[in-house]
Amino acid sequence: MDAGTVFSVLAAALLAPYTFPAWPLPEADIARLTTGQTLHKDFEDDGLKGVILRFFVKAEAAFVYRTLANVEEMPKYMPSLGAIKVLEVKGKMKRLEYRSQLPLVPDFVLDRYFEPPKRIWWTKHKAAYKRIEGSWDIIPAEGGTIIQYSLAVETGGLLPSWAALEIQKQGGRDLVRNVTRHIESGGKWIRSDYNPRKEQTPN
């Protein structure tokens, strides 16, 4: 194997998304989701602590993907997100700077990869946490779409692991509510604490 081939293999491995734990989706769970229940799964893996959430929205999968891929609109509905700035676009990747509305949460930068029409995933570029991995998976279903939101972090000692997981759980409940309202309103619903002032824009 020549040097160029080795480099290509290593580059592909570095760009590969994190593989979240498998979670089957039986018919019984689909029925629960379509009646408005949210399903969640906690997990630990190689230093990461994470949560997987599944919920159902009454909207076509193509619209769901377009909405979640429109990163500039995210502060209008994502909990505690004060602002977002696109730093770089390269192929299917957008490097995004996030600013939280929460006073103790530092700014961070994620690389977000777009794989239409069914997946968006992201990984840490620059953040106080040691690792951040996440994804949206869009699953067409009768009468709407099942959304799977996955997030895992390794704090690196910044917070106790149990505290990081609890923050994810609490934020997940607000996320499901807000995303559902925003999508089912055709993108018109905006959270009440959204503040579009210029001061929110990251420098």
Please tell me the predicted confidence (pLDDT) of residue 117.
96
Please tell me the predicted confidence (pLDDT) of residue 162.
65
**pLDDT tens digits for range 181-196:** 999 999 999 999 998 7
Please tell me the predicted confidence (pLDDT) of residue 38.
97
Residue 6 inside a domain? The answer is no
Residue 10 inside a domain? The answer is no
Can you give the pTM of this predicted structure? 0.86
The mean predicted confidence, pLDDT, of the chain is 86
Residue 1 inside a domain? The answer is no
Quick check: 84 pLDDT over 50?
Answer: yes
Q: What is the DSSP string of 85-101?
A: EEEEEETTEEEEEEEES
Residue 19 inside a domain? The answer is no
Per DSSP, what are the bridge partners of residue 40? 53
CATH code: domain of residue 40: 3.30.530.20
Query: Considering its fold, how many domains does the chain have in total?
Result: 1
Q: Between the CA of residue 78 and those of 99, 117, 121, 159, 161, what are the distances in Å?
A: 12, 21, 16, 22, 23
**pLDDT tens digits for range 86-116:** 999 999 999 999 998 877 677 899 999 999 9
Q: What angle do CA 74, 83, 59 make, to 5 degrees?
A: 5
CA–CA dist 60, 103 (Å, integer)? 36
Domain housing 129: 27-200
Helices 161-184 and 61-69 meet at what angle, rounded to 10? 120
CA–CA dist 126, 52 (Å, integer)? 23
CA–CA dist 127, 105 (Å, integer)? 10
